[in-house]
């Protein structure tokens, strides 16, 4: 792999850590330059920073003095900067939204921990909302934010859309799974000139409509609704596309589908394929898991910083290396290059002190 490109990638990670934690770039004291080595070693081994280095205490102290907003801003600014080299913003993109979680084992007494069943010892989950470009020719995680227990999902989606519009001004389609089907979100999205496609869970009304249809039948109906928010009645509408017993070649099974959408040109023969593009974001989560850095900390600043660091590594790989090497190989090469650089700098510093 090209060493100059690896060094450039390391500088991107250094700038992220520097901006997140307000550190001095390449200080003679501990800085993001030194922390990168331990963070990347932990990412390669999917282990704790304290397992592979001796700087975890100072690193965590720096993270704890930061804030989720500074981490978010640093992550987005770094991804924005490196994506410009790939022509982001010049085309129209499909954006998928999804939540991903991290398991927690312990007492659930923090607003950032979502309660869980206790199965396999998992008592809670940390949750992050992510928006990613999922076009075939361009896959890229753009931004993630931590989501507290009792979150207001539509507000979180809209805050991310507000953030990414400067980098992705032209959006072809927004994709959401069934967990995002919400009257509130639909009304908020209607204020934007952006098409959306939401997979609708099959509840009583949807099941009744599907049961009245023939095998292979497809139809669209306008669904008008209302709900109350802050003691105000809010009205809205969307199109519901019903597809009854559609054959799936991969599984050789027949499935019912229901989608909510505002697309003006609605092709029911291709709507399932359009929605399945969303599944690429789940593949991206699995890729990021290969660089998972473990922590026992309950502080959201620590959890979010490590998650964002992993996501930035993944974004760098998608933009510059994914056609050349696997993600894991890239991660190993990046870590080795960082270790060599830091070791050389520390050796030079020791020699200067001895002179």
Q: What is the pLDDT of residue 24?
A: 59
Which phi and psi (to 5°) does residue 252 adopt? Answer: 60, 35
Q: Residue 137: pLDDT band by 50, 70, 90 thresholds?
A: confident
* Rounded (5°) CA angle 222-92-72: 95
pLDDT tens-place string over residues 28-61: 444 556 789 999 999 999 999 999 988 888 899 8
Q: Percent of the chain beyond pLDDT 70?
A: 96
Radius of gyration of the chain (CA): 23
Task: Mention every residue, 6+ apart, whose C-beta is less than 8 A from residue 289.
Answer: none
CB neighbourhood size of 290 (10 A): 16
pLDDT tens-place string over residues 309-350: 999 999 999 999 999 999 999 999 999 999 998 888 777 777
Q: State the distance between the two ends of the chain, measured CA to CA, in whole angstroms.
A: 36
Q: What is the pLDDT of residue 28?
A: 45
On the question of pLDDT at 25 being above 70, the answer is no
Task: Mention every residue, 6+ apart, whose C-beta is less than 8 A from residue 268.
Answer: 218, 219, 220, 241, 243
296, 48 Cβ separation under 8 angstroms: yes
pLDDT tens-place string over residues 148-205: 999 999 999 999 999 998 888 889 999 999 999 999 999 999 999 899 999 999 999 9
The span from the CA of 40 to the CA of 79, in Å, is 18
Return the structure tokens found at 181. Answer: 């089907």
pTM of the model: 0.93
9, 2 Cβ separation under 8 angstroms: no
């Amino acid at each position: 792999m090209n060493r100059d490109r690896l060094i450039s990638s390391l500088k991107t990670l250094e700038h992220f850590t520097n901006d997140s934690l307000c550190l001095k770039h390449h200080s003679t004291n501990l800085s993001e330059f030194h922390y990168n080595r331990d963070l990347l070693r932990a990412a390669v081994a999917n282990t704790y920073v304290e397992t592979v280095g001796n700087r975890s205490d100072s690193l965590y102290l720096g993270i704890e003095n930061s804030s989720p907003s500074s981490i978010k801003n640093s992550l987005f600014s770094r991804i924005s900067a490196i994506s410009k080299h790939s022509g982001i913003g010049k085309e129209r993109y499909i954006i998928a939204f999804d939540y991903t979680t991290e398991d927690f084992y312990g007492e659930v007494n923090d607003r950032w921990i979502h309660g869980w069943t206790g199965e396999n010892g998992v008592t809670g989950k940390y949750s992050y909302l992510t928006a990613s470009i999922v076009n075939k020719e361009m896959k890229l995680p753009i931004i993630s934010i931590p989501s507290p227990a009792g979150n207001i999902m539509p507000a979180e989606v809209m805050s991310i859309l507000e953030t990414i519009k400067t980098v992705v001004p032209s959006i072809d389609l927004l994709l959401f799974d069934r967990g995002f089907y919400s009257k509130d979100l639909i009304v908020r999205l209607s204020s934007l000139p952006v098409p959306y496609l939401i997979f609708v869970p099959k509840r009583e009304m949807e099941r009744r409509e599907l049961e009245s249809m023939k095998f292979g039948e497809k139809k669209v109906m306008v669904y008008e609704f209302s709900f109350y928010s802050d003691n105000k009645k809010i009205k809205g509408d969307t199109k519901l596309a019903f597809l009854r017993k559609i054959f799936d070649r991969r599984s050789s099974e027949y499935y019912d589908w229901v989608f909510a959408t505002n697309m003006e040109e609605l092709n029911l023969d291709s709507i399932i394929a359009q929605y399945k593009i969303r599944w690429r974001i789940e593949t991206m989560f699995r890729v990021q898991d290969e660089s998972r850095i473990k922590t026992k900390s309950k502080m959201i600043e620590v959890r979010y910083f490590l998650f964002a660091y992993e996501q930035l590594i993944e974004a760098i790989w998608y933009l510059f290396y994914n056609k050349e090497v696997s993600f894991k190989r890239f991660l190993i090469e990046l870590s080795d290059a960082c270790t060599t650089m830091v070791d050389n700098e520390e050796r030079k510093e020791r020699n200067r002190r001895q002179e």
